[in-house]
Amino acid sequence: MWLLLSAAGLAMADGGPSSRDTAALDAGDRLYRQYCASCHGIEGEGQPNWERQNARGELPAPPHGPEGHTWKHSDAMLYRIVAEGWRDPWNRTERLTMPAFEDVLTPAEIRTVINHLKTLWTPEQRRHQASESEGSPYPADRRR
Ligand code: HEC
């Protein structure tokens, strides 16, 4: 029984229809759960009342799906937000409410987790964001 189960596990991990893309998405999902879900929600749903400042005078973590505005940022901008952190300029505190991840995640991991966010968008949003990113790609793509 154990042998059968582990064989099935191996088959699922390795093969089937899972291409490189699926593996990358799984990695993105894992990174997202580990580093982002505590604030942005396990499904990317964001924090309640994310469009308004909370009692501390800070904007809560927004959703990453169709209802949010993550999809309106180019790859370059998304990379910058995740690597260097971000705060709304109108927040009444100075801290980066969106923490900087450049010392936590590698550049490849940052791209992988951002690519995971793209799976939450509508096809139209994905197309829009892709064309915005043509002139504003990830920093690594710029060197090509
Ligand atoms: C400690 C809580 C926290 C964690 C953890 C966190 N974020 Fe954020 N994030 C925020 C907050 C708060 C904002 C809103 C900042 C603002 O605009 O004031 C934000 C904003 C963003 C934005 C900009 C969205 C927009 O609509 O402009 C992106 C993209 C983002 N986060 C991605 C991530 C990713 C990817 C991770 C994990 C690697 C992550 N965040 C982890 C709190 C967090």
Q: Give the domain ranges of the chain.
A: 21-47+54-142
Q: Output the pLDDT for position 78.
A: 98
Rounded CA separation 33/37 (Å): 5
Distance (angstroms) between ligand 1 centre and the Cα of 8 equals 37
Residue nearest to ligand 1 atom 14, measured at CA: 61
| pLDDT recorded at residue 22 | 78
Pinpoint the alpha helices (H) of the chain.
2-14, 20-35, 37-40, 75-84, 107-118, 123-134, 139-142
pTM of the predicted model as reported, rounded to 2 decimal places: 0.86
State the DSSP code for 16: T
Ligand 1 within 6 A of 87 CB?
A: yes
Would you state the pLDDT for residue 24? Answer: 73
Phi, psi dihedral angles at 92 (to 5 degrees) = -85, -5
CA distance 69 to 1: 48
Residue 13 pLDDT: 45
Residue 40 beta carbon below 6 angstroms from any ligand 1 atom: yes
94 C-alpha to ligand 1 centroid (Å) = 15
Does 68 sit in the ligand 1 pocket, CB within 6 Å?
yes
Which of ligand 1's atoms lies nearest the C-alpha of 104? Answer: 38
pLDDT at site 18: 46
pLDDT at 40: 98
User: Does residue 99 line the site of ligand 1, with CB under 6 A?
Assistant: yes
Q: Mean pLDDT per 10-residue run, the chain (144 residues)?
A: 45 46 85 98 97 98 98 98 98 98 97 97 98 94 58
What CATH number is given for 21-47+54-142 in this structure? 1.10.760.10
Q: Given this model, what pLDDT does residue 90 score?
A: 98
